[in-house]
């Protein structure tokens, strides 16, 4: 493309389906989250037929199974929050600190332990990777494609990979960029899927909810892109392609969200 990748790059995550299994490859801090139905005495499975109205006046029946759907991460963020990644880039010569620490507004420390993938950090000042004595690259991740200057301090393009079998209790799969999870936890996005009638509705609510949270805490938004897969095709949704097309073409906001604007 003729553009420098010295200080630019991207994270990436892929999901491949094969013979009842999925393989996930992850570079950076985008995520794949599985919605797995937990069945215990406290959460028995019950089947219930519901009538759902959709855009365009079409009514379809959908079966909802009651119970608890757990949000299980199939990727682990490669960021300086993660001890093993932080130590790896430090061995490569990186200095890990926040912007406030770099500017002398905060004492140097590494007290970021305990922040896992389901804990939301609303401080807006995450630990970043810097070259020693420099104010760049300042990446809030430890692996990426591109970011060539970052390679000198341990930012690598090597993916972490995992393969799992898909079971009948696996109901949803969410593939999303890091901006979605800045203020929404893994469980938040799976709860949204559980309450949605179809994947498009789930995507809309996830993105709109993330956008609203960004504007509550910041005067900007990060990349908030999501793909949602319902792993069980239900017989009641024979016209799902037609319904999805109607929803995409409709000017209605089916969730009655008011337009959101950036704060001044």
Please list, residue by residue across 97-131, b when 16 or more beta carbons sit within 10 angstroms of its beta carbon and e when fewer do: bbbebbeeeeeeeeebeebebeeeeeeeebbbbbb
Q: What is the pLDDT of residue 53?
A: 37
- Give me the residue label for tokens 């995550």: 13
Which residues on adjacent β-strands are paired with residue 5? Answer: none
Q: Tell me if the pTM is above 0.75.
A: yes
pLDDT tens readout for residues 34-65:
999 987 665 566 655 544 433 344 444 445 55
pLDDT of residue 111: 83
Q: Per-residue pLDDT tens, the chain, 264 aa: give them.
A: 445 777 788 999 999 999 889 999 999 999 999 999 987 665 566 655 544 433 344 444 445 556 789 999 999 999 999 999 999 999 999 999 999 889 888 899 888 755 555 556 666 788 999 999 899 999 999 999 988 899 999 999 999 999 999 999 999 999 999 999 999 999 999 999 999 999 999 999 999 999 999 998 888 888 899 999 999 755 444 555 555 556 556 555 444 444 443 333
Cβ atoms of 229 and 173 within 8 Å: the answer is yes
> Are 201 and 254 a contacting pair, CB within 8 Å?
yes
Q: Give me the pLDDT at residue 6, please.
A: 79
Please choose, from the candidates 88, 158, 75, 157, the residue with its C-alpha nearest in 3D space to the C-alpha of residue 117: 75
The closest of 127, 139, 71, 73 to 96, measured between CA atoms, is: 127
pLDDT digits (tens, 9 = 90+) for 167-194: 999 999 999 999 999 999 999 999 999 9
pLDDT given at position 156: 95
Tell me what pLDDT residue 220 has: 85
Task: Give the pLDDT confidence score for residue 50 in this predicted structure.
Answer: 47
Bridge partners, residue 139, by sequence: 129
């Amino acid at each position: 493309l003729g553009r420098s990748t010295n200080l630019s790059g991207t994270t990436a995550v892929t999901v491949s389906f094969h013979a009842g299994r999925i393989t996930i490859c992850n570079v950076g801090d985008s995520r794949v989250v599985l919605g797995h139905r937990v069945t215990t005495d406290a959460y028995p499975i019950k089947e219930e037929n519901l009538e759902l109205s959709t855009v365009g006046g079409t009514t379809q029946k959908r079966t909802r199974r009651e119970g608890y759907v757990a949000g299980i991460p199939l990727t682990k963020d490669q960021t300086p929050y993660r001890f093993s990644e932080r130590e790896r880039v430090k061995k490569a010569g990186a200095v890990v600190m926040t912007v406030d620490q770099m500017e002398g507004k905060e004492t140097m420390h590494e007290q970021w332990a305990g922040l896992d993938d389901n804990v939301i950090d609303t401080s807006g000042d995450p630990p970043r990777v810097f070259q020693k004595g420099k104010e760049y690259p300042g990446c809030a991740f430890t692996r990426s494609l591109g970011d060539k200057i970052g390679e000198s301090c341990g930012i690598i393009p090597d993916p972490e990979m995992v393969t799992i079998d898909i079971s009948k209790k696996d109901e949803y799969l969410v593939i999303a960029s890091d901006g979605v999870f800045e203020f929404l936890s893994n469980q938040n996005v799976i709860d949204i899927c559980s309450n949605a009638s179809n994947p498009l509705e789930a995507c809309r609510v996830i993105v709109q909810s993330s956008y609203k949270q960004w504007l509550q805490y910041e005067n900007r938004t990060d990349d908030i892109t999501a793909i949602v897969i319902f792993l069980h095709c239900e017989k009641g949704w024979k016209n799902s392609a037609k319904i999805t097309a109607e929803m995409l073409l409709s000017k209605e906001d089916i969730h009655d969200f008011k337009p959101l604007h950036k704060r001044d």
